[in-house]
Amino acid sequence: MALVDMEMDSSSFPSSSSSAVARWNYDVFLSFRGEDTRYNFVGHLYEALIQKGIHTFKDDKNLDRGKTISPELLKAIGESRFAIVIISKDYASSAWCLDELAHIIHCKKKTGMTILPVFHYVDPSDIRKQMGTFEQTFIEHEEKENKERVEKWREALREVGNLAGCHLKNTRYETEDIKDIMGWISLHLKYDAFPYITRDLVGIYSRMVELESLLAIGSNDVRFIGVWAMGGMGKTTLARVVYHMVSKEFEAYSFIEDVRENSEKHGLVGLQQKLISNILEETDLKIRDKYDGILKIRNRLCRKRILLVLDDVNKLDQLENLAWEHDWFGPGSRIIITTRDVHMLKTHRVDKTYEVKGLYHKDALQLFCSKAFREEHVPPNDYLVMSEEVLKHAAGLPLALKVLGSFLFGKSTILWRSALERIKENPKKEVFNVLQISFDGLDDLDKEIFLHIACFFNHKEKDHIVEVLDSLGLHPDIGLQELIDKSLLKIDDEGILRMHDLLEEMGKNIVCQECPNDCGKRSRLWRYEDIENVLKKNKGIERVQAMHILRNYDDEGKETCWSPEAISQMYNLKFLSIDGIFHVPQHLPNSLRVLCWRYYPSNSLPSTFQLDELVMLHLPESRIEQLWIELKVIMCYSVSSQLCI
């Protein structure tokens, strides 16, 4: 690629406010030294811009050059959206060019003009540091010009040298560089053409560039592109922006939104009819059934170059009935599919997939501030620490940042503190309702795995957790892959399970909602206060299936107020994990399949403990000397004194 290190965030564009205020008369202003480039590179670039319909100002075409830079030229720079600055070997020898560049930098700061530097067979570091030919040039300038003017030129060159741009080298044809520049300018002009779509969007630019590059619109083949991520990450927003940007490149186009919801409510025939009607602009089209719809899509769209977005697809049969084969559509067609299920995309054999990831901190802060303070800058000092808490809580999820920011808008610092405590305990339903769609679509065993990870195993080592889940009869290999495919889980390079913090909270909330007012009637317990409440009152006998008791074992001054014997009555308890020194009950539930007890305080297990169900036993850093005093038949598949969650 000739375009190197292009900035990939929304700051690359003029802000919506500056775009609205400025009165652009030109799309592009070309800055160059005529003797170096007028009759070769600049001439070819200018012709390419004009042929593309991009209104371009080129000073030797529009103005007679004088000895000093004219007011008309300054005016033309200020009325241009973009400046392409072609810095050649002798560019800095021209006082005219340097004055031009200084004013371009001024407009960048004042009006949000976007600059694309083209390093015309020169090293950008020489420009930044004013070395090589630039060093001698400035020595000569300092002998003739006043110091203030020369320093202004130096600063302008340093700034443009630090910008990402196009570096021409003798390693490929200039026509390829010009093609890249044309693509960059065209993309930025498309973005600027849709302020009503992009006005309130943050961090969209890098995603937009990456997704549009996957479309490869100039290619004549048919391409299916899958866009996937967890709910609330901005898949639909991204697809809609790119759809509006590139739709005019196609004969016809259609955006079918909420495929999952609409197919459940109205069936697939209605979606087929909408698709064909949008493309063919026929309002009286009748489809008898979904098979008739398939035939009509294949037969009537196979010669049209179309752009189609199928938004929020969650089942393969939706694709089978709307966009199954490449030959259903004409050459050059592009089909974008947004989903939470990457495995479905692989099964459909899409040509490319694109994962939408969470916002970086800078963009997350900007988005949150735009909702919480109605501005894009760092929040007031009194709110800064609390804003960082929200950002940590949202973990880059745009939906959460918008909902929480809007919720906190206009509230005092006192109310913010109260609201943050409430959010931690009772997260906003608008966020969970979106996230839970993916959970609701899971099979029962996969739901069990999800809830176990959310309540006990997030940020733990995969291999050991697979052992635990397998011991519970949950077939974790396929289950974990399902969670990964549906954007509910990741496994990092070190083999650690990573579930988004809000998904973890959602899972815990699902368990709490099993019985909001009685923790003894929930399937899983992990909070010490809930466990203490259950065991104090001898509750949880029927419902509790999994429990993790975490206690600082060095805290000898605080004794438990409950009897460990209450655990023995939980006859449905399958998973018990204890981290700390507690009294050993005389009995353990015979239903246990996994027992993990760090710092187990006794030298043997209770003699009454039956082994009918036990599959895994971990007693790391314990006082155990022998498992049982008398002889027992052991069916346990895993016994360890080293591993624990």
The dihedral sign for the CA sequence 617, 621, 622, 623: positive
Comparing C-alpha atoms, which of 357, 343, 535, 528 is closest to residue 446? 343
> Which stretch of DSSP H or E encloses residue 35?
helix 34-37
Round to whole Å and give the CA distance between 411 and 379: 13
> What is the four-CA torsion angle of 556, 562, 565, 571, rounded to 10 degrees?
-120
- What's the CA angle centered on 113, arms 108 and 116, to 5 degrees? 95
How many residues are there in the chain? 645
d(CA 478, CA 234): 27
Q: Are 517 and 495 in contact (CB under 8 A)?
A: no
Alpha-carbon distance of 286 to 507, in angstroms, equals 44
Q: Which distant-in-sequence residues (6+ apart) come within 8 Å of 277 by Cβ? A: 283, 285
CA-wise closest residue to 160 among 191, 197, 130 = 130
On the 0-12 / 13-18 / 19+ scale of CB atoms within 10 A, 431 is: buried
Contact in structure between 557 and 539 (CB atoms under 8 Å): no
How far apart CA 152 and CA 161 sit, in angstroms, is 14
DSSP 210: H
Please, are residues 406 and 373 in contact by the beta-carbon 8 Å criterion?
no
The catalytic residue among 79, 100, 174, 261 is 100
Tokens describing residue 595: 């027992």
Phi (first) and psi of residue 81, to 5 degrees:
-75, -40
Token duo for residue 353: 């997939």
Tell me if 228 sits within 8 A of 342, measured CB to CB. Answer: yes
Whole-angstrom Cα distance, residue 405 to residue 390?
Answer: 9
- Asked whether 574 and 592 are in contact (CB, 8 A), the reply is yes
Q: Rounded to an integer, what distance in angstroms lies between the CA atom of residue 420 and that of residue 397?
A: 17
Cβ-count burial of 149 within 10 angstroms (0-12 exposed, 13-18 middle, 19+ buried)? Answer: middle
> Tokens for 68?
């000093």
In the numeric block, which tokens belong to residue 235? Answer: 């898949």
User: Phi and psi of 617, rounded to 5°?
Assistant: -135, 115
- CA–CA gap between residue 628 and residue 292 (Å, rounded): 70
7 is catalytic: no
Question: What is the set of active-site residues?
Answer: 100
